[in-house]
Structure 1
Amino acid sequence: MAQPTTAQRGREVRRRLLDVACELIAEHGWTAVSTRMLADRAGVTPGLVHYHFSSVQALLNEAAIGAMRDYLAQTPELFQQAATAQQGLDILLGELDRHTGLDPLSLLFTETYLASTRDDALRGEIAVLLAEFRHQVSTWLDGHGVAAPETAAAVLAAAVDGVLLHRALNPGLRGSDIAPVLGRILTSAGGADTGDGTEGAGDRQ
């Protein structure tokens, strides 16, 4: 069997450092992660950390943004399971029930948002991800006749983040309880396909 090339070994070390960075951010908090912690967990020398990344901050930024991008990329697949706007909302919020607010992914998102308040570059990268997410949701909502889909998508995106944050403080906050409330956003402006035989407010004018 052929031995891995130097380039392949380098890519593997880089990938391992990115994975380890996500783990450590969730476990210890963004500002507590050090070169030594990263090297020890990844099983490499501290010098390799700085060989592959210009700084610990650069490594953390790339790791967190990559994890967030991978998670948000699942959104189109979730919506494909839904025949109506309300069903899509139910599925999206049901997905949140997999997270406690204190699980590794939730903590990674929370720590990254907090770190972005002090890092313009990181904040800009998150803004791009959220814009892409809102565009996906808006396009899907528009296809189901939801009025002002861009605004509805922005509100839903903010609500999802808020629910995730509050789950740690209120574990009883379930998607099934929230979906009917947020569902009013989809119908109050009129025309939305709710899937329950009702009409949007605009249809009753």
Structure 2
Amino acid sequence: MARTTTAERGREVRRRLLASACELIAERGWTAVSTRMLAERAGVAPGLVHYHFASVHALLSEAAVGAMRDHLSRMPESLDGADDARQVLDGLLAELEETTGLDPESLLFIEAYLAATRDDALRREISAVVAEFRTRLEELLLRHGVAAPERTAAVLTAAVDGVLLHRALTPGLSGAALAPVLGRLLAPAPGGGTDDDTEGGGDRR
């Protein structure tokens, strides 16, 4: 039987701590998570928390940002086969149907956003993840000839985040109800182009 190396054991401890951090953020809230909780949930000695991470906050930040990156990186991939911009939108809204606003992943993201309002470094990391997603969404909209794809991607991303927050308050807020409204953003660019000159500072006469 092959022996587990020290490096492999270290990676496994980090993996368990990161997974435990995601669970505890959703269950207890960002500021309530402690070293003891993390160690108990991961099944490791408390000293290993600070051996592998500079602080509990650093562990929580890495866990939350990693979970957000994993989730958002999958969404555009699932939309690559869309035949038109409306299918892209329908795919985004379908993802929301898997959430309640109170499910663990939603709570994790909401807690991370709140923590980022008080932490410049975390805010920059989350902003970078969101920007990556927005860029990939922009590329999809550009492919399907949507006017002002960069700004449309920004609005759709913000709308999805807003719905995620409001689903806990308004359970009946479904993708089917939102699709006709958000679909109005997907108007094709005049003449088959992608840039709206009036939005970009062109001739407004």
Fold agreement, TM-score > 0.5: yes
Distance 1:189 1:34 in 2: 52
Distance 1:60 1:108 in 2: 10
The residue identity in structure 1 corresponding to 2:41 is: R
Distance 1:66 1:147 in 2: 32
Which residue does 2:201 correspond to in 1?
none
Which residue does 1:43 correspond to in 2?
43
Any stretches of 5+ residues in structure 2 without a counterpart?
193-205
Runs ≥4 residues deviating over 2 A: 188-192
Does 2:181 correspond to 1:181?
Answer: yes
**Are the counterparts in 1 of residues 146 and 188 from structure 2 also a CA contact under 8 Å?**
no
How many matched pairs? Answer: 192
* Mapping for residues 1-205 of structure 1, pairs under 5 Å: 1-187=1-187, 190=190
Which residue does 1:198 correspond to in 2?
none
SS in 2 for 1:73: helix
Distance 1:39 1:15 in 2: 12
User: TM-score, length-normalised on structure 2?
Assistant: 0.91
Which residue does 2:202 correspond to in 1?
none
**How far does residue 81 in structure 1 lie from its aligned partner after superposition?**
3.2
1:94-117 Cα offsets, whole Å, 9 max, x none, are: 111000000000000000000000
**Are the counterparts in 1 of residues 26 and 104 from structure 2 also a CA contact under 8 Å?**
yes
Identity of aligned residues (%): 69
User: TM-score, length-normalised on structure 1?
Assistant: 0.91
Distance 2:161 2:26 in 1: 17
Distance 1:168 1:31 in 2: 21
Any stretches of 5+ residues in structure 1 without a counterpart?
193-205
SS in 1 for 2:100: coil
Distance 2:7 2:21 in 1: 21
1:146-187 Cα offsets, whole Å, 9 max, x none, are: 011000000000000000000000110111111111010111
**Are the counterparts in 2 of residues 137 and 153 from structure 1 also a CA contact under 8 Å?**
yes
1:51-103 Cα offsets, whole Å, 9 max, x none, are: 00000000000000000000001122221231100011011101110000000
Residues 179, 134 of structure 1: alpha-carbon distance in 2 compared, 3 angstrom cutoff = same
SS in 1 for 2:71: helix
**How far does residue 188 in structure 1 lie from its aligned partner after superposition?**
7.2
Q: Alignment RMSD, CA only? A: 1.2
Distance 2:180 2:18 in 1: 38
**Are the counterparts in 1 of residues 24 and 33 from structure 2 also a CA contact under 8 Å?**
yes
Distance 2:152 2:187 in 1: 10
Distance 2:131 2:16 in 1: 28
**How far does residue 190 in structure 1 lie from its aligned partner after superposition?**
4.7
Distance 1:156 1:56 in 2: 33
